[in-house]
Amino acid sequence: MSTAETSYVRCPFCEATLTASPRESVVHCPWCNREFAPEKTRKRRDRFGEEQLGNEWKATVTMALVAGAIVAFVAQFVVSIIRINLLQELDEALERQLVMPFNIPGDLEARLGHWQDVGEQVMTVAVVVAGLAGIAFLVWLDHAVGNLHLLETTGLAFDRTGTVLSFFIPILNLFQPHASMQEICQASDPLHAQTRTAWKSSPSLRSVTVWWLSLLAAGLLAGLGVLASNDDHHMEGILYLLCGVDIALTISGSALLYVIFTVEQRQRQRYEMLNDEDQ
């Protein structure tokens, strides 16, 4: 192939730059092992992008599980408040009657036992649902980062693997997940799509900061609760810490719902806007 007949084309699937002749009707990409028509690169890429952006079920499932976790956290908060009130009632009874702990009134003892069992059951449900929500979130997050390459963005600091793994690397997981989520929100902004790097001027999303700071606060309170759990004499204080965890996780989950919804909307709008510009 002579130099005069050679032109550069971009693979619509893996974004690799290839050399091809304008006369070729089909070009084979050695990197992703796919074929495409050079003169229809944009059209094929749009169709491929539509397929990727069309996986909205990942966001829907994630949001449903996060919402379920929020309900579980609220229920756990209510149960903890009930148990705190019962413990305070017990303290008042002990002070008023000057009885020993093993002389707890039968009705009060039964209620304490009942709500302790309920609390353990609700906590189990909350942990399971939150775990499933976390897995679904990571799957959605990987997909959201992958979409950015189909929305004509360059200069990204975080790739798909690094974004997901940042949640599990000590020290790094204190700040990088927040930074990567902000980058996803900014790079998805349809109002900053004039160039491939225009997204860097997009304002950060406050709800991302609320999500992350609340999550860190929940982790700190949970850690304090674990340290205090070895002493049964401070059960009321442990329950207060658990209430704090539930409040923080409820705030964090609510903010996350908004972030996921916003990213999905932004990516869809940016995709449609880019398509409209080429028609």
13 and 144 co-located in one domain: no
pLDDT given at position 76: 96
Q: Which of 2-16, 24-38, 158-172, 206-220 has the highest mean pLDDT?
A: 206-220
**Mean pLDDT within 23-36:** 70
What are the phi and psi torsion angles at 206 (to 5°)?
-65, -35
22 and 81 co-located in one domain: no
Within 10 A of 102 (CB to CB), how many other CB atoms are there? Answer: 6
pLDDT given at position 37: 67
Q: In angstroms, what is the C-alpha Rg of the chain?
A: 27
pLDDT given at position 228: 80
pLDDT given at position 151: 86
Give the alpha-carbon dihedral of 100, 103, 107, 111, to 10 degrees.
60
74 and 93 co-located in one domain: yes
Token pair, residue 156, equals 């990204």
Q: Is residue 257 part of a domain?
A: yes
Q: Is residue 2 part of a domain?
A: no
Asked if pLDDT for residue 8 goes beyond 70, the answer is no
Q: How much of the chain exceeds pLDDT 90, in percent?
A: 53
For the chain, how are helix, strand and coil distributed in percent, rounded to 5? 70, 5, 25
Q: Is residue 186 part of a domain?
A: yes
164 and 247 co-located in one domain: yes
Q: 241 in the Ramachandran plot: left (φ > 0), alpha (ψ -120 to 50) or beta?
A: alpha
Q: What is the pLDDT of residues 191-233, one digit of tens each?
A: 888 888 889 999 999 999 999 999 999 999 999 988 887 766 6
The DSSP code sequence of 210-272 is HHHHHHHHHHHHHHHHHHHTT-GGGHHHHHHHHHHHHHHHHHHHHHHHHHHHHHHHHHHHHHH
156 and 22 co-located in one domain: no
Stretch among 70-84, 180-194, 220-234 having the lowest mean pLDDT: 220-234
110 and 81 co-located in one domain: yes
Q: What is the pLDDT of residues 251-264, one digit of tens each?
A: 999 999 999 999 99
46 and 63 co-located in one domain: no
* Domain assignment of residue 11, given as a range: 7-52
Q: Is residue 139 part of a domain?
A: yes
Please, how many CA atoms are within 13 Å of residue 75, restricted to the half-sphere of its CB? Answer: 18
Q: Give the end of a domain, one of 52, 73, 88.
A: 52
247 and 149 co-located in one domain: yes
Q: Which stretches of the chain are assigned E, i.e. beta strand? A: 7-10, 17-20, 27-29, 34-36
Stretch among 103-117, 140-154, 197-211 having the lowest mean pLDDT: 103-117
The structural domain count of the chain equals: 2
Question: Using 50, 70 and 90 to split pLDDT, how confident is the model at 188?
Answer: very high
Closest by CA to 74, choosing from 237, 250, 252, is: 250
Please, how many CA atoms are within 13 Å of residue 1, restricted to the half-sphere of its CB? Answer: 10
147 and 203 co-located in one domain: yes
Token pair, residue 238, equals 């442990």
179 and 145 co-located in one domain: yes
Q: Is residue 1 part of a domain?
A: no
Token pair, residue 268, equals 């869809």
Q: How much of the chain exceeds pLDDT 70, in percent?
A: 77
Asked if pLDDT for residue 15 goes beyond 60, the answer is no
42 and 163 co-located in one domain: no
Mode of pairing for the β-strands spanning 7-10 and 27-29: unpaired
Stretch among 68-82, 102-116, 159-173, 188-202 having the lowest mean pLDDT: 102-116
96 and 36 co-located in one domain: no
Asked if pLDDT for residue 96 goes beyond 50, the answer is yes
